[in-house]
Copies of this chain bind each other. A is one copy, B any other.
Amino acid sequence: MKARDLFRVPDKFTLREEDAARQPLGDGSKSGDKERTDQVLERVSDLQTILYAQRKHKVLLVLQGMDTSGKDGAVRSLYSGINPVGLRATSFKAPTPLEAGYDYLWRVHQHVPAKGEIAIFNRSHYEEVLITRVLKQIGSKECQRRYGHIRDFERMLAETGTTIVKVFLHISKDEQRKRLQARLEDPKKQWKFDQSDIDQRKKWRTFQDAYEDAILATDADHAPWFIVPADSKPHRDLAIATLLLETLQDLRLRWPPPDAKLAELKIR
8 A Cβ contacts from A206-262 to B: 255-256, 258-259, 262
With A85-B91, A181-B267 already in contact, the answer to whether A262 and B76 are too (CB < 8 A) is no
List, in ascending order, chain B residues with CB within 8 A of A10's CB. none
Contact of A256 among B180, B191, B256 (CB under 8 A): B191
CA distance A181 to B263 in the complex (A): 8
Instruction: Please give the distance in Å from A268's CB to the nearest CB on chain B.
Output: 7
> Is the CB–CB distance between A72 and B91 below 8 Å?
no
User: Is A266 interfacial (CB 8 A cutoff)?
Assistant: yes
Tally A residues with Cβ within 8 Å of B. 36
Instruction: Please give the distance in Å from A38's CB to the nearest CB on chain B.
Output: 12
CA distance A45 to B13 in the complex (A): 40
Mark A166-191 against chain B: 1 for CB-CB distance below 8 A, else 0: 00000000000100110011011011
> Is the CB–CB distance between A267 and B85 below 8 Å?
no
CA distance A171 to B193 in the complex (A): 46
List, in ascending order, chain B residues with CB within 8 A of A184's CB. 262-263, 265, 267
Instruction: Please give the distance in Å from A118's CB to the nearest CB on chain B.
Output: 13
Instruction: Please give the distance in Å from A196's CB to the nearest CB on chain B.
Output: 14
8 A Cβ contacts from A58-108 to B: 72, 75-76, 79-80, 83-85, 89, 91
> Is the CB–CB distance between A255 and B85 below 8 Å?
no
Instruction: Please give the distance in Å from A26's CB to the nearest CB on chain B.
Output: 23
Instruction: Please give the distance in Å from A64's CB to the nearest CB on chain B.
Output: 16
> Is the CB–CB distance between B84 and A266 below 8 Å?
no
Mark A142-178 against chain B: 1 for CB-CB distance below 8 A, else 0: 0000000000000000000000000000000000010
With A177-B268, A180-B267, A266-B181 already in contact, the answer to whether A190 and B259 are too (CB < 8 A) is yes
Q: 7 tightest A-B contacts by CB?
A: A53-B191, A187-B258, A79-B84, A180-B267, A181-B267, A191-B256, A177-B267
What are 7 A-B pairs with beta-carbon distances under 8 A?
A53-B191, A54-B191, A79-B79, A177-B268, A190-B256, A191-B256, A193-B262
New A-B pairs, 13, CB < 8 Å, besides A181-B266, A181-B267, A187-B255: A53-B191, A72-B85, A75-B85, A76-B83, A76-B85, A79-B80, A80-B80, A180-B267, A184-B263, A190-B256, A190-B263, A191-B255, A193-B262
